[in-house]
Amino acid sequence: MSKAGPPSPMGHPGGRFTGPIVKPKNQKETLLRIWSYMRQQKIGLYMAVMFVVIGSLLSLVGPFLIGVITDGYILTFDVEGAIRMALVLAGVYIVHAIFTWLQSFVMIRVSQKTIRTMRQQLFEKLQTLPLAFFDKRKQGDVMSRMTNDIDNLNAALSQSVVQIMSSFLTIVGTAVVLFYLNWVLAIVTLTVIPLIVWTTKQIIKRSSVSFVARQRDLGQLNSYVEETISNSDITTLFGKEQQTVEEFTQANERLRSSAMRADIVSGMMGPFNNFMNNLGVALVIGVGAFMAIKGNVTVGEIAAVVTYTRQFFRPINQLSNLLNTFQSAIAGSERVFEILDESEEQMTSGKEKQRFTGDVKFEGVQFEYEAGKPILKGIEFKVNAGEMVAIVGPTGSGKTTIIQLLTRFYDATGGRILLDGEPIESYKMTNVREHVGVVLQDTYLFSGTVRENIRFGKLTATDAEVEEAAKIAYAHNFIKYLPQQYDTMLTSGGMNLSQGQRQLIAIARAILEDPDILILDEATSSVDTMTEVHIQNGLNNLMEGRTSFVIAHRLKTIEKADKILVIKDGEILESGNHETLMQEGGFYRSLQNNLATN
């Protein structure tokens, strides 16, 4: 199949994975967009906040009771009172654990519902994007955004949000209690905070770039794996296994390098914060001991302050680590939002017709995938309803591009296409595609039964209609010999059928669709002669009474066409029927002679 399309994103100099480094975008805007999804779960958020507040308050009670037990019972040798208060302290921690579990449980539900909504919107968005979007992106990268990037956000939301709220409340509450117990020791505790904040800011600033690079490299690696697995037969056929392994090794090394940079930079935060935590505790103990000697503080107060100090620094450490998690989640979310912000095809704007007669006219049609690189150069021709038009020409001449304009996979960049006398853009895009049937050289069948794959052409068709379409397409002859006949399960792509069998099912699917305009793009170019006879019989039944466009390398299959368009370098060189073009002795005749010679 010839196709003059946009250059492959893997075809640029420097190998498959070179490209511009993705820079971090507006993190504040990304967080606001994430929040717009989360706030749809208001009841769950309110419950989570309530549980967080209760849990945070309970966490403040424990250290205070430790001080009371130390001064009031242990130092006074009141064993019964100490045991009684110890049971109260144990009860406080048990209830605190329960509310901690509840807040996590509720927040996981909120995050899962939020992610479900985002994933649903992303998948629906992919169904509305133009073909140009997929031509310019690797499938593995799109899949990575659908899976890895959303999963990173899910991990951040399910755990990090409640921990951030809890950490913030714990820090504020602990600071208040510290000043209540002893303002001098409270100030000592706070002296290391500015250094922690400054260092955390610097680490996050540098790690955010690394997290974005890691997500990019992961998407590229997934793309290469998907591409390699999908085309494993080609790799084996040309003996490129070693080259494939080497290219994977390079991509894997890039991912390792960017992931290591991200993890090393972000990993500095934990050890540094632990050091600052221990430093703060050491300062409190040192100053507290000096004050105790002076008689300005009790041993129980020092014990409580030390416990509160550790409790004060623990959420700060958690916040620092959570911010690292959020950097990864934000980087992934930005990649998801990039797709959600893509321009959609205008599927429902325009008028609608129940049936098309099939009159098609190209008036000076021009098209280019990339600015300044024209593919079609002023194409003009007219096709009357019910005619069969063949399009021939060398590879890359623009044959398939003409077909893509007819199906509105792309719109012309110059000139216009008339369908039943009206500009094709004036009709709803869905309306045009409902009445244009396409049978491609590389037919794709979905995982499911044979019956379901044929019914894809008309989802409301009955079993009898499906089988009738298969008989018209000459597909019934082989389907009846399958293990479960029409209920035989097909693998993804229909790989448990031959190429010819897949083509016949595709023809049956098109017959069931009952299109007004039919497009056959090299539909018989890769099958054996006997199978081609069956396929051609099915195609003849399918084309009867319909306007048909046929692209074929086997010129014999289009000798009966009402009109043959000879395309070269995006221009129509010749036009006429087979006999006329042969008599003219032009490019078409040279194609026929070359075919006969070969």
**pLDDT below 70 — which residues of the chain?**
1-26, 75, 140, 205-206, 208, 226, 229-241, 266, 269-270, 317, 320-321, 323-325, 345-349, 441-442, 492-495, 522-543, 552-557, 592-598
Domain boundary among 340, 371, 404: 340
Residue 282 identity (one-letter amino acid): A
Which residues make beta-bridge pairs with 427?
351
In a domain? residue 13: no
Q: Give the integer Cα–Cα distance in Å for 422 and 402.
A: 18
**3-class secondary-structure state, position 523:** coil
In a domain? residue 7: no
Neighbours of 349 (CB within 10 A): 11
pLDDT at 1: 36
Q: Say whether both 305 and 416 belong to one domain.
A: no
Per-residue DSSP letters for 59-98? Answer: HHHHHHHHHHHIIIIITTT-HHHHHHHHHHHHHHHHHHHH
**Encoding tokens for residue 78?**
């009141």
Q: Say whether both 101 and 231 belong to one domain.
A: yes
Q: Are 34 and 336 in contact (CB under 8 A)?
A: no
Q: In the 8-state DSSP scheme, what is residue 10? A: T
What radius of gyration, in Å, describes the C-alpha atoms of the chain?
35
Q: What distance lies between CA 411 and its chain's CA centroid?
A: 25
> 174 CB contacts (<8 Å, ≥6 apart)?
60, 308, 311, 312
pLDDT at 291: 80
pLDDT at 409: 81
Q: Are 350 and 428 in contact (CB under 8 A)?
A: yes
Domain boundary among 340, 375, 407: 340
Residue 538, CA distances (Å) to 472, 474, 516, 524, 541 in order: 6, 6, 17, 11, 5
In a domain? residue 12: no
Rounded to the nearest 5°, which phi and psi values hold at 364?
Answer: 55, 40
pLDDT at 233: 59
pLDDT at 558: 72
| CATH code of the domain in which 185 resides | 1.20.1560.10
In a domain? residue 2: no
Q: Say whether both 331 and 395 belong to one domain.
A: no
Q: Are 362 and 423 in contact (CB under 8 A)?
A: no
Residue 21 identity (one-letter amino acid): I
Q: Give the integer Cα–Cα distance in Å for 476 and 460.
A: 20
> 49 CB contacts (<8 Å, ≥6 apart)?
165
Q: Are 489 and 519 in contact (CB under 8 A)?
A: no
Q: How many CA atoms lie within 13 A of 395 on its CB side?
A: 2
Q: Are 60 and 174 in contact (CB under 8 A)?
A: yes
Q: Say whether both 389 and 304 belong to one domain.
A: no
Q: Are 509 and 450 in contact (CB under 8 A)?
A: no
Q: Say whether both 367 and 331 belong to one domain.
A: no
pLDDT at 523: 57
First to last CA, the chain: 19
> 222 CB contacts (<8 Å, ≥6 apart)?
140, 141, 143, 144, 148
> 462 CB contacts (<8 Å, ≥6 apart)?
none
Domain range for 332: 27-340
In a domain? residue 330: yes
pLDDT at 554: 61
Q: Give the integer Cα–Cα distance in Å for 55 and 93.
A: 9
> 200 CB contacts (<8 Å, ≥6 apart)?
269, 273, 320, 323
Q: Say whether both 245 and 366 belong to one domain.
A: no
Q: Are 388 and 561 in contact (CB under 8 A)?
A: yes
In a domain? residue 346: no
**Encoding tokens for residue 139?**
């499938």
Q: Give the integer Cα–Cα distance in Å for 440 and 561.
A: 19
Query: Which of these, 530, 528, 586, 582, lies nearest to 559 by C-alpha position?
Result: 582
In a domain? residue 272: yes
Max CA pair span of the chain: 120
pLDDT at 345: 67
Q: Say whether both 321 and 410 belong to one domain.
A: no
Q: Say whether both 336 and 392 belong to one domain.
A: no
**Number of compact structural domains in the chain:** 2
Start-end of H helices in 191-240: 193-230, 232-237
Q: Say whether both 415 and 288 belong to one domain.
A: no
- Whose tokens are 């749809």? That residue is 40
> Taking CA 274 as the corner, what is the angle to CA 202 and CA 170, rounded to the nearest 5 degrees?
90
Domain boundary among 305, 340, 375: 340
pLDDT at 15: 33
pLDDT at 96: 85
Q: How many CA atoms lie within 13 A of 485 on its CB side?
A: 7
Q: Are 391 and 571 in contact (CB under 8 A)?
A: no
Q: Give the integer Cα–Cα distance in Å for 222 and 218.
A: 6
Q: Are 471 and 519 in contact (CB under 8 A)?
A: no
Instruction: Name the strands in the sheet holding 547-551, side by side, starting at the edge strand that comes first in the sequence.
Output: 436-440, 517-521, 547-551, 388-392, 563-568, 571-576
pLDDT at 573: 82
Q: Give the integer Cα–Cα distance in Å for 264 and 209.
A: 13
Q: Are 72 and 81 in contact (CB under 8 A)?
A: yes
Q: Say whether both 326 and 384 belong to one domain.
A: no
Q: Say whether both 514 and 388 belong to one domain.
A: yes
Q: Say whether both 364 and 334 belong to one domain.
A: no
> 60 CB contacts (<8 Å, ≥6 apart)?
170, 173, 174, 177
Q: Are 528 and 559 in contact (CB under 8 A)?
A: no
Q: Are 518 and 526 in contact (CB under 8 A)?
A: no
Query: Which of these, 57, 107, 85, 101, lies nearest to 311 by C-alpha position?
Result: 57
Q: Give the integer Cα–Cα distance in Å for 56 and 102.
A: 13
In a domain? residue 354: no
| CATH code of the domain in which 394 resides | 3.40.50.300
Which residues make beta-bridge pairs with 363?
416
